[in-house]
Amino acid sequence: MRYRLMIFDWDGTLMDSVARIVACMQAAGRDIGWGSLSDERVRDIIGLGLPEAIARLCPGIDPERAEALRQRYSYHFVEGDVTPMPFYPGVVDGLARLRADGGSRLAVATGKSRRGLDRIFHERSCGHWFHASRTADETLSKPHPRMLEELLDELGVPVEEAVMVGDTEYDLEMARALGMDRIAVTYGVHAPERLAASRPVFTADAFPELIDWLHA
């Protein structure tokens, strides 16, 4: 195994939740009368913490409307929308393969809230797959490296023995700020050329490719 610690983004990297995120944010925008939010604009902010995402998505929005947008987005995501959110092909088997190596550890670093991540862990019975996790609302949002620093401290792994895996420049730049190796996956939200600017050590077009490379 190339690394002792492998840290994964969630949305767009492990779980194919992009369509649901886009639909729910667009519905929330309509609810508060903000107007049309394009697919491209919403996809661009996936990975950020929700307050940071809203500020970037809706420049100049006042705090009251931002809070209303946050609440309506949360409603649609949890209750109002039923767009399926499967794991990407190869994720379940691939993570099981990594877990079978007793010397490696797995973690999650996500822009989701703690409540949101724990809900998914419970619904999919997958929380035990990971040794640790960090969410944007309990530390700082990507691309600030704070959540990676906290995961390294918690698990006692030096930065040179860890890698960050993600589908956005926010994931990769977070790792780059620490000098941590980073792997890009191209099936998520940011274009390959945008990911390449962060100089990943490997780029995977499918999750099984990533697993094979980690085991090489």
Alpha-carbon gap, residue 55 to 95, rounded angstroms: 34
CATH class label, 5-16+85-215: alpha beta
Q: Is 205 marked active-site? A: no
Q: Pick the catalytic residue from 9, 16, 44, 167.
A: 9
| Phi and psi angles of residue 126, each rounded to the nearest 5 degrees, phi first | -125, 5
Question: Residue for token digits 């950020």?
Answer: 48
Q: Is 9 marked active-site? A: yes
Task: Report which DSSP code applies to 194.
Answer: H
pLDDT above 90: residue 78: no
CATH topology of 5-16+85-215 equal to that of 18-80? Answer: no
- CATH T-level assignment (fold) for domain 18-80: DNA polymerase; domain 1 (1.10.150)
pLDDT of residue 117: 95
Contact 76, 24 (CB under 8 A): yes
Contact 83, 108 (CB under 8 A): no
What 3-state class would DSSP assign to 108? Answer: strand
Provide the pLDDT confidence category of residue 1 given band limits of 50, 70 and 90. confident
Q: Could you tell me the residue ranges of all domains in the chain?
A: 5-16+85-215, 18-80
- Per-residue pLDDT of 169-203, as tens digits, reads 999 999 999 999 999 999 999 999 999 999 999 99
